Amino acid sequence: MQQRLLDGKRILITGGTGSFGRKFLEVAYRDHCPRRLVVFSRDELKQHEMRALWPETDDSPVRFFIGDVRDVERLRRAFHDIDIVIHAAALKQVPACEYNPREAIYTNVIGAMNVVDAALDCGVKQVVALSTDKCSAPVNLYGATKLCAEKLFIQANAYRGEHGTRFSCVRYGNVVGSRGSVIPLWRDQRAGGCITVTDPGMTRFMITLKQAAQFVISSLSIMDGGEVFIPKLPSVNILDLARAMASECRIEYIGIRPGEKLHESLISSQESHNAVDLGDRYVLLPAHPWWTSNHAGSKPVPVGFEYHSDINETRLTIEQIKEMIANAG
């Protein structure tokens, strides 16, 4: 089903030079036969580096497009003749968003509005936007902006009109080894014999880049438009992660940073009345009159159900964390 979905399709990834975009391009190119794979981003250096790996030859579907999601006219030009948009562009570093709130809103909220408008105007068939566990009961600006973005994409299905553009989101946890995350930080710190840990009791959901890319593709294959797809993920304790990464190092505890939670949530109790269990994932269904479809075989979750990293039934051991990191590429 996934193979048929991407074969011959013209696909664009906003934020395509980021960690997810690079992995999605790799998976789509290796395992599928898209007609075109467009990398849309504002970083010309990263595009130059990617172009060395994926040359724009006549027999390659890969193309590069400089642009910013803040610029709706540039998006309209880029979305021309595109079938599928994966929206991965975002400002995602929690401290940076706390310190630069206007910039976070311009990119994460206004940028989402622009992607919706450009997709509708250009007749894009499917749009999947990447979200985060930090938007569930958010306590920081990054989470709040991503919650706004989710609302924008889901509600866009109500006015897609004759073009029939379908919008859905995927919401998942921390990505193993993504740029700016703790694993690359600790790799750098190990040489000095000391790593920094915020709080020894902290827990997080974890997913690899490959799993994230594959989850987006599988969600594309089953989306009706209006869903938020949430994978069933393992949790890790931050101290176990530190021991798996650098057991020989001294640990300096620095405290939780502004805007951070001790534990993350993928589904809050307030969202449980719209959540269903689809086996390998949960799905948040929209409570809107325009929603007319459903997912066969899905089961409603119990009333008051919560999906939090600290009470998650699946918790990785130190050895399992080591294996996850080793296979993350």
How many residues are listed for the chain in this entry?
Answer: 329
Which of the following is catalytic: 9, 23, 92, 134? Answer: 134
Nearest of 322, 90, 88, 89 to residue 206 by alpha carbon:
322
Q: Supply the DSSP string of 82-95, one letter for each residue.
A: -SEEEE------HH
- In the DSSP assignment, the letter for residue 17 is T
Backbone angles phi, psi at 61, to 5 degrees: -85, -5
Longest dimension (CA), the chain: 61
CB distance 298 to 227 below 8 Å: no
**Residue 188 near residue 293 (C-beta atoms within 8 A):** no
Sign of CA dihedral 60, 207, 41, 46: negative
Say which residues have a Cβ less than 8 Å from residue 132's Cβ, sequence separation at least 6: 92, 142, 143, 146, 171, 172, 173
Give me the DSSP letters along 44-71.
HHHHHHHHHHS---TT--EEEEE--TT-
| Catalytic residue status for 134 | yes
Q: How far apart are CA 243 and CA 49, in angstroms?
A: 33
Closest by CA to 177, choosing from 211, 202, 139, is: 211
Give the DSSP letter of residue 315: B
- Which amino acid is it at 123? G
Cβ–Cβ under 8 Å, residues 162 and 154:
no
> Which sequence positions are flagged as catalytic?
134
